[in-house]
Amino acid sequence: MAKQISSKEFKAEVLEAKEPVFVDFYADWCGPCRMLAPIMDKVAETHKVVKVNVDEEGELAGMFGIMSIPCVILFKDGKEAGRSIGLVPSTEILKLLEK
Protein backbone atom coordinates (compact mmCIF):
# COMPACT_ATOMS: atom_id res chain seq x y z
CA MET A 1 0.00 0.00 0.00
CA ALA A 2 1.20 3.48 -0.84
CA LYS A 3 2.43 5.54 2.13
CA GLN A 4 1.21 9.10 2.70
CA ILE A 5 4.12 11.50 3.34
CA SER A 6 4.57 15.18 4.15
CA SER A 7 7.23 17.66 3.10
CA LYS A 8 9.15 16.79 6.30
CA GLU A 9 9.56 13.20 5.13
CA PHE A 10 10.08 13.92 1.43
CA LYS A 11 13.87 14.19 1.52
CA ALA A 12 14.40 10.93 3.40
CA GLU A 13 11.62 8.96 1.68
CA VAL A 14 12.21 10.14 -1.90
CA LEU A 15 15.36 12.16 -2.52
CA GLU A 16 17.66 9.96 -0.41
CA ALA A 17 16.01 6.63 -1.30
CA LYS A 18 18.32 3.91 -2.63
CA GLU A 19 15.58 2.48 -4.89
CA PRO A 20 13.33 4.20 -7.45
CA VAL A 21 10.29 5.87 -5.85
CA PHE A 22 6.93 6.67 -7.42
CA VAL A 23 5.39 9.82 -5.94
CA ASP A 24 1.62 10.11 -6.45
CA PHE A 25 0.51 13.76 -6.20
CA TYR A 26 -3.24 13.77 -5.53
CA ALA A 27 -6.16 15.44 -3.74
CA ASP A 28 -9.01 13.85 -1.79
CA TRP A 29 -11.67 15.67 -3.86
CA CYS A 30 -10.20 14.51 -7.22
CA GLY A 31 -12.23 11.69 -8.82
CA PRO A 32 -9.46 10.45 -11.15
CA CYS A 33 -7.08 10.50 -8.17
CA ARG A 34 -9.41 8.21 -6.22
CA MET A 35 -9.61 5.91 -9.25
CA LEU A 36 -5.81 5.84 -9.54
CA ALA A 37 -5.34 4.94 -5.84
CA PRO A 38 -5.95 1.16 -6.22
CA ILE A 39 -3.67 1.13 -9.28
CA MET A 40 -0.88 2.75 -7.26
CA ASP A 41 -1.52 0.32 -4.39
CA LYS A 42 -0.97 -2.50 -6.90
CA VAL A 43 2.30 -0.88 -8.06
CA ALA A 44 3.28 -0.57 -4.38
CA GLU A 45 3.23 -4.36 -4.07
CA THR A 46 6.51 -4.48 -6.03
CA HIS A 47 7.87 -0.92 -5.95
CA LYS A 48 8.17 1.94 -3.48
CA VAL A 49 5.19 4.30 -3.77
CA VAL A 50 4.45 7.37 -1.66
CA LYS A 51 1.50 9.76 -1.85
CA VAL A 52 1.54 13.55 -1.47
CA ASN A 53 -1.72 15.44 -0.91
CA VAL A 54 -1.38 18.65 -2.96
CA ASP A 55 -3.91 20.48 -0.76
CA GLU A 56 -1.82 19.81 2.35
CA GLU A 57 1.59 20.06 0.68
CA GLY A 58 1.19 22.93 -1.76
CA GLU A 59 4.84 23.91 -1.48
CA LEU A 60 5.97 20.46 -2.65
CA ALA A 61 3.46 20.52 -5.50
CA GLY A 62 4.80 23.90 -6.54
CA MET A 63 8.42 22.73 -6.39
CA PHE A 64 7.66 20.03 -8.94
CA GLY A 65 5.34 22.10 -11.13
CA ILE A 66 2.24 20.03 -10.48
CA MET A 67 -0.45 21.64 -12.65
CA SER A 68 -2.80 18.65 -13.10
CA ILE A 69 -3.62 15.75 -10.84
CA PRO A 70 -3.26 12.89 -10.53
CA CYS A 71 0.41 13.23 -11.36
CA VAL A 72 2.89 10.43 -10.70
CA ILE A 73 6.58 11.27 -10.77
CA LEU A 74 9.27 8.60 -10.71
CA PHE A 75 12.40 9.57 -8.82
CA LYS A 76 15.71 7.73 -9.32
CA ASP A 77 18.78 8.74 -7.34
CA GLY A 78 16.94 11.79 -6.00
CA LYS A 79 16.04 13.17 -9.43
CA GLU A 80 12.91 13.13 -11.54
CA ALA A 81 13.20 10.29 -14.06
CA GLY A 82 9.70 10.33 -15.53
CA ARG A 83 6.20 11.69 -15.14
CA SER A 84 2.68 10.46 -15.84
CA ILE A 85 -0.34 12.77 -15.71
CA GLY A 86 -3.94 11.63 -15.42
CA LEU A 87 -5.63 8.30 -14.88
CA VAL A 88 -3.54 5.61 -16.58
CA PRO A 89 -3.17 1.84 -16.15
CA SER A 90 -0.37 0.37 -14.05
CA THR A 91 1.44 -0.68 -17.23
CA GLU A 92 1.86 3.00 -18.15
CA ILE A 93 3.12 3.83 -14.66
CA LEU A 94 5.65 1.00 -14.78
CA LYS A 95 6.89 2.11 -18.22
CA LEU A 96 8.44 5.09 -16.44
CA LEU A 97 11.04 2.66 -15.06
CA GLU A 98 12.24 1.92 -18.59
CA LYS A 99 13.28 5.52 -19.31
Known catalytic residues?
30, 33
The Cα 73–Cα 50 span in angstroms is: 10
Residues making up the chain, counted from first to last: 99
DSSP label at residue 38: H
The Cα 53–Cα 8 span in angstroms is: 13
